[in-house]
Amino acid sequence: MKNILKLSFVALITLVAVSCKKDYSQVSKVVTPSYPKINFPNGKFFSIKVGDPTPQIVANAYDSLLKQAMGVTYDPSVIDNTKPGLYVVPITSEKNVNGYFSADAAYVAVTNIDTAVNISGNYLRAATGVTAKVTKIKNGLYSTDQLGGAATLPVLAYFCQIDSTTLDIPVQPTSNVGDVYCTGVSLSKTSPLTMIYVVRNPYFATAPRTFVKQ
């Protein structure tokens, strides 16, 4: 009986030793993060008149570190060519072999504003002394490099001019504060041109911001 118990104990020790044996064949791999770059062969900014055909957005992605090309996904049906405004089309790349992906957006202005209209220039927010540079990209489509007029938090954003007093600053991605949009947006007819709006984003207070063209 003692021999049987002794043999059982030895077998148990052997089983535990085998089950606890580490598998050193599994070696961890250090991965250098790399993100695909989304490219727009025909550009990412468009402007059409109300009722015109929706522009064809062409995009692809490439990871230069991994030498890997990949596709992108987006939904152009978010554009309503019958209604004036700025339409932001989110675009996402496929994941690379390490699971990383990128996101960007295309911008389509739908507006009947006259092509001669140009409100680009420098706009001062007197409350902070910050100047926003407004640049015309396409007909009725503009960028501002200081949406919030905050010296320590410059935000690049895009907007559409629908008519002489109406601007559209819809929900859009940014590189530093996440999604942002504006409400209560107005543009004065008289000189100097004055833009007023409320920035909707957790980083900004909800008081109206006034920018006067210099």
- Reading across the β-sheet that carries 85-93, which strands appear in turn? 45-48, 103-110, 85-93, 72-74
Average pLDDT over residues 71-99: 96
Cα 131 from Cα 187, distance rounded (Å): 17
Which CATH topology does 32-110 take? Immunoglobulin-like (2.60.40)
Percent of the chain with pLDDT over 70: 86
Report whether pLDDT(22) > 90: no
How many CB atoms within 10 Å of residue 186?
13
Residue 16 reports pLDDT greater than 90: no
Question: Is residue 138 scored above 60 in pLDDT?
Answer: yes
- Bridge partners (DSSP) of residue 61 are 38, 70
Nearest residue to 104 (alpha-carbon basis) of 54, 34, 183, 173: 173
Tokens of 113: 């504003």
Which of 27-41, 169-183, 194-208 has the lowest average pLDDT? 27-41
Q: What is the mean pLDDT of the chain?
A: 89
User: Could you give the percent of the chain with pLDDT greater than 90?
Assistant: 83
Count of CA atoms in the C-beta half-sphere (13 A) of 42: 10
pLDDT tier for residue 189 given thresholds of 50, 70 and 90: confident
Return the pLDDT at 5: 34
Each domain of the chain, given as residue ranges in start order, spans: 32-110, 113-214
Q: What is the pLDDT of residue 29?
A: 65
Element (H, E) at 187: strand 181-187
- CB atoms < 10 A from the CB of 110, how many? 26
Helical residues (DSSP H) of the chain, grouped into ranges:
2-19
